[in-house]
């Protein structure tokens, strides 16, 4: 049995909460957060738990903040909703505790009975009329589940998502080529275009477990930053304050649930080789010169250095050659933003060649053109859907070894 991180509570509200009812009600807004979260959580507001108790994702473990908020919701008579993540997400629990006891002990008992119902839903043995949180449909539609959670709470409420975030159905099917390395900003823009961005204005959103996987799903550690940036971007674009619990979850997946398709990470790039004189090479993730989401920072600095070292050797081997670097992008976001990011990435390659490999700067020119380059591949389908493989091919820095006559 794997041991969870101590900040996670494996029992999913297994221990009856020490009710705050003795003071009448819980404070509305949290004091400065010892967990390092940025959002000011309202302890007197509805809470929605969006839970991935499914294949390929670790057994869900609520962060301590979730326990605090759900317990406070019970004390204060606020609505608590639980959403099941599977191929057809739905609400499996939704109840608001109405206190009738006239004394503190009675209210405490009522709160603990309410939390007991939630515990049974999460464990898979819910009382009528509630349903178990474990998946009943194949695949994982995290976006639809998240949208249900957001709609269940008003402004000032909190949505807590406990899942790997690895969706396996359209429109965010991570099985598609390029989905694990897609620019999160591009994907957020796409979700806006198809009008599936949740209206999360005024809400707090806490993600836990993003990027964590369980067998048979292979580990996706190298792509965790992209997965986190994607869901953070979707929630933030919807107007939410967003926190991400950074502690890894290492439990096995829940058993007895339908299968979920495995997302295969792209194969590792081949060893770098020196390009021929007067040739052109595309610098991208497939040769380790990819970048972190929406940044001009190499995703794999060591791999990028190995590839660029070969490019530098090719350039320096022939004094006739000049290197022309052209940054390009997929067709998402604003044109000004596309050109700026592609220019920054071309300049990052230039700086690495000059500062780390000794190439004279006068032998390099760099620019960013966004989508305006020969060979641009249409990265939207006829209905506006994102073509992730084409988008991935459009994000690169084109390196041309230009031979002077």
Residue 324 sits in a domain whose CATH number is 3.30.1330.60
What is the chain's mean pLDDT, rounded?
89
As a whole number of angstroms, the distance between CA 40 and CA 32 comes to 8
Residue with tokens 């060591």: 302
pTM for this model (two decimals): 0.80
Interhelix angle 104-123/64-75, rounded to 10 degrees, is: 130
Question: Which of the four pLDDT bands, split at 50, 70 and 90, describes residue 9?
Answer: very low
**For residue range 171-195, what is the model confidence (pLDDT) as tens digits?**
999 998 888 888 888 888 889 988 9
> Please, which pLDDT band fits residue 217 given cuts at 50, 70 and 90?
very high
Peptide bond into 216 cis (omega under 30): yes
- DSSP label at residue 271: P
Residues 221 and 366 in one domain: no
pLDDT > 70 in the chain, percent: 91
Beta bridge partners of 398: 282, 326
Q: Which domain holds residue 111?
A: 47-245
State how many domains the chain has.
2
**Residue 214 shares a structural domain with residue 77:** yes
- Which CATH number does the domain housing residue 191 bear? 3.40.50
Predicted local confidence at residue 28, as pLDDT: 52
234 & 302 share domain? no
Domain-located, residue 346: yes
Q: How far is CA 69 from CA 83, 107, 335, in A?
A: 16, 17, 42
Residues 147 and 212 in one domain: yes
Contact 80, 70 (CB under 8 A): yes
- Rounded Cα distance between 105 and 96, Å, is 19
- Asked if residue 349 belongs to a domain, the reply is yes
Question: Residue range 361-373: average pLDDT?
Answer: 96
Q: What is the 3-state secondary structure (H, E, C) of 101-141?
A: CCCHHHHHHHHHHHHHHHHHHHHCCCCCCCCCCECCCCCCC
Tokens 């339908």 found at: 258
């Amino acid at each position: 049995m794997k041991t969870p991180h101590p900040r996670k509570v494996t029992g999913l509200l297994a221990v009856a909460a020490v009710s705050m009812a003795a003071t009448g009600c819980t404070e509305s807004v949290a004091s400065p957060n010892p967990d390092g979260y940025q959002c000011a959580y309202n302890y007197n507001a509805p809470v929605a738990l969006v839970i991935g108790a499914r294949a390929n994702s670790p057994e869900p473990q609520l962060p301590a903040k979730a326990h605090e908020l759900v317990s406070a919701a019970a004390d204060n008579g606020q609505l608590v909703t639980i959403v099941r993540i599977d191929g057809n997400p739905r609400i499996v629990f939704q109840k608001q505790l109405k206190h009738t006891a006239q004394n503190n002990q009675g209210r405490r008992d009522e709160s603990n009975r309410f939390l007991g119902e939630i515990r049974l839903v999460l464990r898979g043995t819910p009382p009528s009329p509630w349903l178990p949180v474990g998946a009943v449909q194949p695949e994982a539609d995290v976006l639809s589940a998240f949208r249900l959670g957001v709609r269940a709470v008003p402004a000032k409420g909190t949505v807590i998502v406990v899942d790997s975030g690895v969706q396996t159905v359209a429109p965010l099917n991570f099985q598609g080529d390029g989905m694990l390395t897609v620019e999160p900003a591009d994907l957020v823009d796409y979700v806006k275009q198809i009008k599936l961005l949740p209206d999360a204005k005024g809400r707090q959103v806490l993600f836990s477990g993003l990027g964590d996987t369980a067998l048979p799903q292979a580990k996706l550690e190298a792509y965790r930053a992209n997965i986190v940036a994607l869901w953070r971007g979707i929630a933030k674009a919807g107007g939410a304050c967003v926190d991400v619990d950074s502690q890894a979850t290492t439990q096995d997946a829940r058993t007895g649930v339908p299968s979920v398709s495995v997302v295969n990470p792209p194969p590792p790039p081949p060893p770098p080789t020196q390009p021929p004189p007067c040739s052109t090479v595309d610098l991208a993730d497939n040769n380790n010169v990819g970048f972190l989401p929406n940044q001009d920072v190499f995703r794999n600095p060591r791999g990028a250095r190995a590839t660029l070292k070969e490019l530098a050797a090719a350039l320096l081997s022939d004094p006739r050659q000049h290197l022309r670097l052209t940054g390009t992008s997929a067709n998402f976001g604003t044109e000004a933003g596309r050109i700026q990011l592609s220019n920054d990435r071309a300049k990052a390659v230039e700086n690495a060649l000059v500062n780390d490999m000794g190439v004279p700067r006068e032998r390099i020119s760099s620019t960013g053109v966004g989508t305006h380059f020969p060979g641009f591949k249409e990265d939207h389908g006829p209905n506006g859907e994102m073509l992730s493989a084409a988008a991935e091919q459009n994000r690169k820095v084109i390196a041309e070894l230009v031979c002077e006559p």
